[in-house]
Amino acid sequence: IVLTGGDDRLWKTWGFPDGNILLTGEGHTDWLSGCCFRPSGTQLVTSSGDTTVRIWDMSRRGCILTLRGHSRAVRGCSWHSCGDFVASASVDSTSKIWDVNSERCRYTLRGHEKSVNSIEFLPFSSTALTSSADKTLSLWDVRTVSRL
């Protein structure tokens, strides 16, 4: 299965290698910038130009949680390998670590001078990597909210 999102405000899952659309999700009000499966494969996360991050349940075929807190477009998102946390990167120069269980922002990562364009958790660790339009990469310990 391949997961995509785009300017049409939709995410789609595709069967591979046939290319058949299996599921489509709608709910964002602007373009999708990122989408990623939860490690268990039962849910996915999307990020959008509408400033939100959304969690989708595959079995329910719908959005189960909308995370709000960025003031500008969200450029990327990723799941932590444990499946309990989602990270987001935004044009507002911040990244956020969201606790999916409590449904709120756990930490806001500040330090980039321009748009944060991507964020990824290093597998099985408390470290996240961000990239920014300020031409820097940063490693973060998300337990202490500090740069490494």
Give me the pLDDT at residue 123, please: 93
CA dihedral 11, 17, 20, 22 (to 10 degrees): -50
Q: What percent of the chain has pLDDT over 70?
A: 100
Number of structural domains in the chain: 1
Give me the pLDDT at residue 131, please: 98
Residues 47 and 44: their CA atoms lie apart, in Å, by 10
54 CB burial (10 A radius; 0-12, 13-18, 19+):
buried
Range of the domain at 49: 2-147
Residues 60-101 have pLDDT tens digits of 879 999 999 999 999 999 999 999 999 999 999 999 999 999
pTM: 0.94
Residues 130 and 112: their CA atoms lie apart, in Å, by 9
> Which CATH number covers residue 108?
2.130.10.10
